[in-house]
Each structure stands twice: as structure tokens, then as C-alpha cells.
Amino acid sequence: MSSTRDAQDEQGGQGEARPAAHRQNRLAHESSPYLLQHAGNPVDWYPWGAEAFARARAEDKPIFLSIGYSACHWCHVMERESFEDAAIAALMNDHYVCIKVDREERPDVDELYMKAVQALTQGGGWPMSVWLTPDLKPFFGGTYFPPADRFGRAGFPRVLTELARLWKEERPRVLKSADGLTDHLREMAAAVAAPAGDGAPGAFASDPSLLPRAAELLLRGHDEENGGFGEAPKFPHPMDLQLLLRIDARFGQPVARQAALRSLEKMAAGGIHDQLAGGFHRYSVDERWAVPHFEKMLYDNALLAQAYLDGWQVSGDAAHAETVRTTLEWALREMRSPGGGFCSTQDADSEGEEGKYFVWDPAEFAAVLGAETAAWAAPFFGVAPGGNFEHGKTVLWRPWSVVDFAKSRSLDPAAVAANVAAVRAKLLAARAQRIAPNRDDKVLADWNGLLIGALARAGALLDEPRFVAAAGEAAAFVRRELWRAADGSASGAAASTGGHRLLRSWKDGRARHDGNLADYAFLIEGLLCLWEARFEPADLAFARELADATLERFWDDAQGGFFFTAHDAEALLVRSKEAWDGATPSGPSVLVDALLRLSALTGADHYRDAALRTLELYRRKLEQQPHALSRMLAAVDFLQSDPVEVVLIAPDAAALAPFLAVLREGFAPNRVVLAATPATRAAVAKLSALLEGRDASVATAWVCRRGACRLPVTTAEGLEGELASGR
């Protein structure tokens, strides 16, 4: 709907086509669960593509473009109210060629037309509704439209009728508007794509004030009482929290650390955090994190797991580590596909009601637990008469910590913790008997890259081998199903990079849509995390293959930086290089960091050179709006910190373990590790120049910076000393 619901700057159940009395439309042939949800509408929907465009030109009709995603509550509302209404559908079919797009499958189309809607309305969100000329230029747009005029808002039928009239009777006016808006979009893209200054590429990034200035701007919006940033609706902003922790580690800013840790604590206690099953909902509609917008997105949970992992490393608070575990366990239990990849989203709605699956009233609560247990469990989980949600229901949250709750009642905290765990198990079992929200079971490359990174890093740091194994299986799934040779065939593990491309989306054995920059970037980052979790050469090799393909397919030779779409992708009105870290980090932000790390790991300077030229492209934004590029600033932190390169050689994995235990202590985000044993040495040596001239018969570690290494050490204690002396 509006920015209070599915906000554009905060990006974004197994979807099934609804039965209908009339024939299904063209969306019945699609694989996207979101598109299949609309296959039974009386609207004559087309998927995005040449057939729809040709019809619009042949019949001289404007296009109505509707963009959404399967877990979007207000997308469902507009479908029920308008797209399933026969009279409204007739208006749409008579006057327009109607196209439905899943924004998760086509983020390039979504990004382009969202910018148009934002320019027209100063807002944005989903469902997104855009009217286009037959040559795809936007001339009018908005988000949710009600089925009739109300609350001072024009209803969807009136908008459809008036725009059809304008197209027929005032065509020059419409075309002038479309041309003007298209020119504006192109000017915006050109402004982003222009390098900002002279001098060595990326030299400005050495400015030590960049990071503290970003912290200052972020902290201005920090809610000291409730954590997080700004007022309701409130989004998690995990990358901002991670940046604050990095800034404290570099510059000693306890206020930044306290703000990040308080936010993590408050979110984990809130209703935005599923107190029974783990995992996080999309955002909170209130400032206290109590009542969420209920959809669960794979990317939110991957990013939040990483943020809580950082919080645990900084604070040592076991509660943050437990939040990481339960979040990833939710993903393994509820989002994993049979092949090892991870599905995209869980719906906000079930049985046509938002949040119905997740909320409780006091009577239900007591019926499950019994009166005696409910008497203390209700206040612990915030269940009270009147509730905090609609119809007197309550979204479970934790007004108390276990320690404070035990103290208030003179109880043993360990006993309270055990009782709370038993209550959770009973409530979860009871909730499982309800009709669950649908799951969108398509597998997306970029979101899987994020989760691969979270699983791998958490598995290594928390000593959870099952997480590392799951990350490896997801990486194998992506390589098997989405990494394709030039002829479209699946890529073998030993295939060369030449002509290979990454596809974006997979469902039911069908891989579709060319990968965009974020698909490549997020997977490279995830694979680098997986490399440092298990040191299998295939992971580093795949990361390099993807990086080389990214440079080949997305790099702008003229001005530097990376386009959002590949050189041979479908040509849209505007080709973007936009970088904005919202609900997910931007492709350029993650790629800069990944290329810097890859260069440090391998000694390949061309990765670093591309990263520095890309930073130069976003110089103005980094200097003027650093809080808008928090993930890119993490790469700046890596660059400024003179990152530590640790090379390990050992006779076997067991001999590596004591050294890795040292490396996995504390918070050290600006470190890379290369490790080899006799079984992997030859393969690793082909991937990295850091092994050149190094050998050892016993476990040995070298601590280096930019290729200059200190004397080798052969004990874990010696490594600990070398790391400490280099701080």
C-alpha cells in the first residue's frame, strides 16, 4: 500500500492459483507463485514480455502494469477487491493490456517503474500500479487503489476510466508527460553513473571522517528508548547496526555500540521476532517492535542473523547467539527446498486474514497451557485482555527478560528459562494445528547467497557444523540449477567460466530470468563466507568464477562501476547503476566489499582495482549521504583498516583447528583467511598467490598486510600474539 505498509526504501505461502469458474489467464503458464495466484482472475493478464508489448502496439492501447510479490498483504487486498471483480476486470480488459510482474523475479523492472512512481507521487510501495504507453514509457502511477472512491481517494474504476479517456481524447498531453518522466529517469541514472572527481580511483575513501560522519547521522535517528531508527513503522536496518558496531571497533565510539546492541535486544524481545518458531517478520507497525507486518522474508532473516552474530561477537551476550540459532533453524525447518536451496517468503495472511496464524487471545492461550501456567506465562509473553492487535488478540512479545522476570517473582532464573522453553513448545505445537500462511517456494540466487553467508559464518563461529553443511548444500544447489553454460545447459563442477551466466529464479525444476548484479554479488559474498567456514577450494573457485563473470558481463569500461543488468540482458528504458542500501544491500555495495576481500585472499589486483573505481562512482553519495550506503561503508572500513591476511598451512584439518579457534574469537570483520592442507594445497595454489613460496611440515601461520608478512608462528598462542601485536 503506502510507505506505512510496504515501503520502497525498505525492500522487498507456497503460492497456488485460485480455482475459478472461468478459464485461467496466461499467468497459468508461469512458475512464479505470485503470478499463479492471479491466474484465475477475470483480468486478461499477460506476463512481462514481447507478446503483451506487441498487442499494446497493435491495438494502440496503454499498458496497465501491476507489480507485487506473493507475501504482500495489500497485494492480496487489491486482488480480492479489484482483480477478482468482474466489472472492474472488464474495464481493465476493455481499455488496457494488463501485465502482472513478480518483483522478486524481475527486480530490474520493479526498480525502474518504482522510480517513476516515486517521482510522480513522492512515495512508493506494493502493490505498485503503473500506466505505460505501448513503448513502455510511464505516464501515471501509484500503489494500492481502493475499489471505490473513499476517504478522499479516487477508486480504481474511476482512475481506469479517466486514464482511458485521456489516452483517447488528450493523447498529446499523455505522451508529453510520458516523455518528460522518461527523460527524468534517464537524467537520474546518468547522475549516478558519472565519476565524481579527479585523482586516484577510490582515494577519497581513505578519508577517516567518512565513517564517524555516517555514525553521527545514523545516531540522530536512533530511538534511545526502543532501539532502532525513526518512528513507526519501524524497520530492522541490520546493515546500519553492523556499521555502528564496526565504527565502535575502529574508532572507540561506545554510543554507537550501545545503540546497536540495544536495538538488537529490543527487536529480539518484540513481536517482530516470532517468539515461538524463531525468525523475524518484515517490520513493526509500532515504535516498540510489538506488532509486526507478518510476512517473513528470507533476506531479512539472513541479514538479521549476521547482525546478531556481530552483536554476540562484540558483547558476548549468549542471547544474541541464541537468536542467530533460532533464526537459522527457522530457515532450515520452514524455508528449505528438497534440493537444498531456500525458498523466498512466508505470507502475512492465512485464511484471508493478516496475522491470523500468529496471534492469540487469553482464552486460547489458557486453553493450551492450563490456567495455572497461563497465569505466569501470559504476562511474560505480553498476553492481556484487549491485546495489542485486532479483535483483542495479542502478538506474543517479551516485556521481560528471563532474569528480570525471575527477580520480580523471587524465582530461580534457570527454572524460569526451562519453564519458558516448555511453554514455547506447547504453544508452537498448538499453533501448528492452524492453517499456516502460504510459502513462496521459488529459490532466488541473491537471497540464497545472503543465507549461505549467514549459515556458513554462524556455523563456524558458533560451532554448528549443520549450518555449514546446509550452506554447502545451498551453494551446490545454486551451482547445479542456476549456473548455466552459454548454451543454457547446467554447469558441471569443473566447467570453465567462459560464456557462463547465473540465472536468478528456480521453481519446480525450471530456472528462469538472467541474474542481475545483486545475484552475482550476494553469491560471491556467501561463497567467501563458506570458504572461511570449511576451506574447500571449490568454494573459492566458484567465487572467482562468479567474480570474473561479473566483470565480463556488468562492468562499464567507459566510466567504471557495474550496471544492474548484464550487457546482453533485456533492454529497458533506463540502464541503472543505482546503489542504495535499503532492506537489502545494493549490488554495488556488496560487490565492492567482496572484490576487496577476494583480492586480499588471492593477491589478484584487478579485483581491487575494480572495487576502487566503483567506490569513485559513488563518491558524492558516500560523502553527502553516507547513511544511505551503510553496506558500502563496511567496504570502506575494510579498505581503511589495512586488512589482515592470515595464511595457514597444516598437515591436516585437525592441526588447523587450534589456529582457527583463535581466529574465531572476538570481533574482527576486516580479516581474511587462506588455509591449505596437503590434500588441498595444489587447488588453493591455483586460486591464490598467497601460497607462493610458503610450505611447512607442521601447522604454521603467517600474519600479513598487503602481502607483507611477519615471521611465521607454529602455535595457536603464537598466532594470538601476532594478531595482538598488529592491532
Rounded to whole angstroms, the Cα distance separating 87 from 658 reads 71
Cβ atoms 375, 381 nearer than 8 A: no
Q: Of how many residues is the chain composed?
A: 727
Report which of 534, 406, 41 is spatially closest to residue 526, judged by C-alpha positions: 534
Place of cell 570502506: 636
pLDDT at position 539 is: 98
Rounded to whole angstroms, the Cα distance separating 399 from 379 reads 8
Nine-digit cell string for 112? 525502474
pLDDT (tens digit, 9 = 90+) per residue, 411-425?
999 999 999 999 999
pLDDT at position 563 is: 96
Q: Set out the domains of the chain in order of their start, with CATH numbers.
A: 8-192 (3.40.30.10), 223-316 (no CATH), 358-433 (no CATH), 642-727 (3.40.30.10)
pLDDT at position 198 is: 63
Instruction: Classify residue 363 by burial, with Cβ atoms within 10 Å: 0-12, 13-18, 19+.
Output: exposed
Give me Rg for the CA atoms of the chain: 26
Q: Which residues of the chain have pLDDT under 70?
A: 1-22, 193-199, 487-498, 707, 726-727
pLDDT at position 160 is: 98
pLDDT (tens digit, 9 = 90+) per residue, 632-679?
999 999 999 989 999 999 999 999 999 999 999 999 999 999 999 999
Rounded to whole angstroms, the Cα distance separating 37 from 292 reads 24
Angle between helix 537-554 and helix 465-481 axes, rounded to 10 deg: 40
pLDDT at position 4 is: 33
ω before 62 within 30° of 0 (cis)?
no
pLDDT at position 202 is: 74
Answer positive or negative: Cα dihedral of 339, 344, 347, 351: negative
pLDDT at position 193 is: 63
| DSSP-assigned states of every residue in 328-385 | HHHIIIIIB-TTS-BEEEE-SEETTEETTTTEE-HHHHHHHH-HHHHHHHHHHTT--T
**pTM score above 0.85:** yes
